[in-house]
């Protein structure tokens, strides 16, 4: 491949990576955007959100990783498959790091943990950001 073709390919990969990142002016806004995306994907696929936990965060170099756990229920097991498929193709991307599901009679319930990424460079951070 020529240098020009390689450059176009790399620029395309960079654009694709940027589309997978969450954004926001502050860390709590990024956390809220991730929670909103997760809840929206659940709602759109027939999943009922039972509860969400407080997001965990990890900052390393210029990267921010947000981990979000959500408990859910549904009456149709196919909704769970559609939900996971939706997450797999989500943009910005939510990566599944933990998943459990249980069945009792005609109800499925479980929990899912996802992570989303953002660039931490330029984010306004709180003075007391220890949590």
| pLDDT tens profile 81-122 | 999 999 999 999 999 999 999 999 999 999 999 999 999 887
Between strands 48-52 and 56-60, the pairing is unpaired
**CATH of 3-119 among 3.30.70.60, 3.40.50.2300, 1.10.357.10, 3.40.109.10:** 3.30.70.60
| pLDDT tens profile 5-25 | 999 888 888 888 888 999 999
Is the distance from CB of 93 to CB of 20 less than 8 angstroms? yes
Burial letters for 39-67: b for 16+ Cβ neighbours within 10 Å, e otherwise?
bebbeebebeeeebeebebeeeeeebebb
Q: Given pLDDT bands bounded at 50, 70 and 90, which one contains residue 128?
A: very low
Q: Which residues pair with 49 in a beta bridge?
A: 72
SS3 content of the chain, % helix, strand, coil (to 5): 35, 35, 30
Whether the bond into 92 is cis, omega within 30 of 0: yes
């Amino acid at each position: 491949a020529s240098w020009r073709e390689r450059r176009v390919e790399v620029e395309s990969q960079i654009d694709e990576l940027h589309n997978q990142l969450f954004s926001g002016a502050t860390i709590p806004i990024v956390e809220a955007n991730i929670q909103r995306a997760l809840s929206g994907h659940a709602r759109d696929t027939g999943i009922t959100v039972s509860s969400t936990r407080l997001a965990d965060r990890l900052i390393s170099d210029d990267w921010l990783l947000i981990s979000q756990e959500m408990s859910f229920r549904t009456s149709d097991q196919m909704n769970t498959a559609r939900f996971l498929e939706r997450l797999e193709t989500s943009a910005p991307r939510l990566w599944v790091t933990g998943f459990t599901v249980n069945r009792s009679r005609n109800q499925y319930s479980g929990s899912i943990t996802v992570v989303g990424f953002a660039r931490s460079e330029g984010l306004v951070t709180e003075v007391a950001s220890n949590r």
